[in-house]
Structure 1
Amino acid sequence: MNLRRMLAIVVKELRQLRRDRITLAMILGIPVMQLVLFGYAINLNLRGLDTGIADQANTAASRALVMDMVATGVINPTLSATSPQQLMEALRRGKVSIGVVIPPDFERRRFDGREAVQVLVDGSDTVVQSAAVQLAQLPLDTRPVTNAKGERTAAGQVSVVSFYNPERRSAVNIVPGLIGVILTMTMVLFTAVAIVRERERGNMELLIATPLSRSELMVGKVLPYVAIGLLQTTVVLALGMWLFDVPVRGSMLDVYIASMLLIVANLALGLLISTRAQSQFQAMQMTFFVFLPSILLSGFMFPFAGMPRVVQWLAEVLPLTHFLRMVRGVMLRGASLVELWPEVLALLAFTAVMMTTAILRFSKRLD
């Protein structure tokens, strides 16, 4: 081997990397992003779960109990309800993750040593169930308890009631989210290389010469992948229901509409990446740069409520975050997309911004 010739190749590759700013940014950006995400954003200890309180007793003891629960840091009261039915409705719509029911006869139940408080949990997220167990271990009163007959009894108990997935089967939680993960990975990647592939094959000049407008060309690139995305959704749903007995408590039409919204949002994002990348390799690099935070911050792998507030704001920009709320709400809690309208609007807004930006950037590249 000639070391001089080999050194020349090494110098040539380093110079090429220096000119390739996107690849250079990925070399430095990916390890930094992973370090920040796993070291700062990912937190398995849930804190500040949105909670509804139905204090029907409204006594000094019941208010003290609520304060003790809040002091644990597990819950964050965001809803005041008058009945358990209101809490159940809030759980179904995804407005709260936990509901605390204190019955009117709270004092009597506590002195009799009976179940005095119920904690209602959205079991569609198994991590939330685990966090709620901490509330069941909270003592209602540290003082000796004597019933009406003067007998010493144990203090009343706090019970946890899990809905939508009482068996705590992980497949029930994972399969709906897996639809979004697969669609995010494939749809962004497919369209990220779409424009770049035409340019590398020399077909771009032919497309420019056609009567197609730029908008028609971009939308035409997207539409075939919509059918592919719906096919993937059908495959995951069928296998999930057949192999893992995953329920679909809501409308199947709502599941497909939610999937369609995510598909279009990811395709628009992929087109934007395609207008920025210089090669298919760069497009795949940029896709990975988007996919990694999506899977880590959306709530699919790690609890959303455990993340710092700043990271939660960043996660709200990701389409997968809103899709997970929709698909789990429809499939596991039986909610409708009308009830989940904030997530629908978020995906529509994201799609509009990404598609408009991609068309404008594509137009500038043709001039």
Structure 2
Amino acid sequence: MNLRRLFSIVLKELRQLRRDRLTFGMIVGIPTMQLLLFGFAINLDVRHLDAAVLDQANTARSREFVAEIAASQVVTLREQLSSPQQLDESMRQGKISVGIVIPADFDNRLERGDRAPLQLVVDGSDQVVQQAARQLAAYPLARLRSADAVPPAAMEIVNFYNPERRAPVNTVPGLVGVILTMTMVMFTAMALVRERERGNLEMLIATPVSPWELTLGKVLPFIGIGLVQVSLVLALGKLIFAVPLRGSLLQIYLAALLFILASAALGVFLSTLARSQFQAMQMAFFTFLPQILLSGFMFPYAGMPRAAQWLSEILPMTHFLRLIRGIALRGASLADLWPEMAALAAFSAVVLSIAVMRVSKRLD
């Protein structure tokens, strides 16, 4: 082995990396982004879950308990409800994740200690909410009792939509979003770049194809592929893990269709920035990491700082997870979850328009 020749090759590679600004940026950007996300944005402590109170006792002690629960910051009280039907509706629509039900005989239960003094109704479609419920269930009630009262029983936890607390019920619907994000963005990001690298763009230049036609022509085949992937994950989840599909299957596909369009639009936009398929793959990974970490799939959304939550609201996977879990597990409709549909539609329209404006029928 000749060390001079070896050094020449190493020097050549370093110079090439220096000229490739995108790759150099990824070398610095990816570890920086991971450090910031895991160190700052990702917080395993569950805080500020949306909650509602159904206080059927309306006594001094019940109001004191509600005030102390609100001060704990585990939940944020959004509504004061007057009936169990309102609680069911708010949870089905995704407005709340936790319901605190205080029965009419709350004071008597505290004194006797023979029954749970209150009930926590939690959205079992989200595993993070179940963790928060266990924290609330351990909340001390001793201060609310009189000195000679019997220690009360633990709070009763009722899991809606996942009474068995099975992890696949939470995971499988979320995996639909993860798989679509990973495949749709990467495939479409490489589509236009592949045409440029293979020289096929020259033939397209000689045709009257408009930028919109070229862009949509690249996107539409991947939409079909995405729908096949959705069908595969849902079928395997049902057959292997017995994941329930309580909502309309048609509405699940409509939500998935809009999410696929948003992911494909992001991929086409990345393809207008990349100069090679390798760069397109790098940028696709660069966008995939924040989506899986900030969407609520792996880490609690409620525990993130406000700035991280604002960023996650821009990402399409955040809204799709709310849609797929709401429809498939809670039986909600698209009308109940219209803000998430509107967010995905707005993202698709804006990003796809920018991508079309950047698509050029020129070799350079």
TM-score interval for Structure 1 and Structure 2 normalised by the shorter chain:
over 0.9
- Whether contact under 8 Å (1:112, 1:156) holds in the other structure is no
* SS at structure 2 position matched to 1:45: coil
TM-score by length of 1: 0.95
Q: Which residues of structure 2 form unaligned runs of 5+?
A: none
- Whether contact under 8 Å (2:43, 2:304) holds in the other structure is yes
* SS at structure 1 position matched to 2:27: helix
Q: How many residues align?
A: 363
- Whether contact under 8 Å (1:126, 1:173) holds in the other structure is yes
Which residue identity does 1:308 align to in structure 2? P
Separation of aligned partners in 2, 1:223 and 1:287:
19
Separation of aligned partners in 2, 1:131 and 1:68:
16
Match in the other structure for 2:136: 135
Counterparts of 1:1-367 in structure 2, within 5 Å, are 1-113=1-113, 114-142=115-143, 145=146, 152-155=149-152, 157-363=154-360
TM-score by length of 2: 0.96
Separation of aligned partners in 2, 1:143 and 1:102:
14
- Cα 1:337–1:144 change in 2 (3 A) is closer
Kindly state the Cα deviation for residue 156 of structure 1 after the two structures are TM-superposed.
6.0
* 110-119 vs 73-82, which moves further: 110-119
Which residue identity does 1:43 align to in structure 2? N
Q: Which residues of structure 1 form unaligned runs of 5+?
A: none
Which residue identity does 1:56 align to in structure 2? Q
Separation of aligned partners in 1, 2:167 and 2:81:
30
CA-to-partner distance for each residue in 1:186-245, whole Å, 9 max, x for gaps? 000111011110000011121011111111011011101111100011110110000000
* SS at structure 1 position matched to 2:44: coil
Separation of aligned partners in 1, 2:354 and 2:25:
22
Kindly state the Cα deviation for residue 293 of structure 1 after the two structures are TM-superposed.
0.9
- Whether contact under 8 Å (2:205, 2:361) holds in the other structure is no
* 5-14 vs 48-57, which moves further: 5-14
* SS at structure 1 position matched to 2:314: coil
- Whether contact under 8 Å (1:145, 1:154) holds in the other structure is no
CA RMSD of aligned residues (A): 1.6
- Cα 1:159–1:358 change in 2 (3 A) is same
Which residue identity does 2:164 align to in structure 1? E
* 60-69 vs 168-177, which moves further: 60-69
Report sequence identity in percent.
Answer: 61
CA-to-partner distance for each residue in 1:120-139, whole Å, 9 max, x for gaps? 10011122112111222223
Kindly state the Cα deviation for residue 365 of structure 1 after the two structures are TM-superposed.
5.8
Separation of aligned partners in 1, 2:144 and 2:199:
82
- Cα 1:365–1:27 change in 2 (3 A) is farther
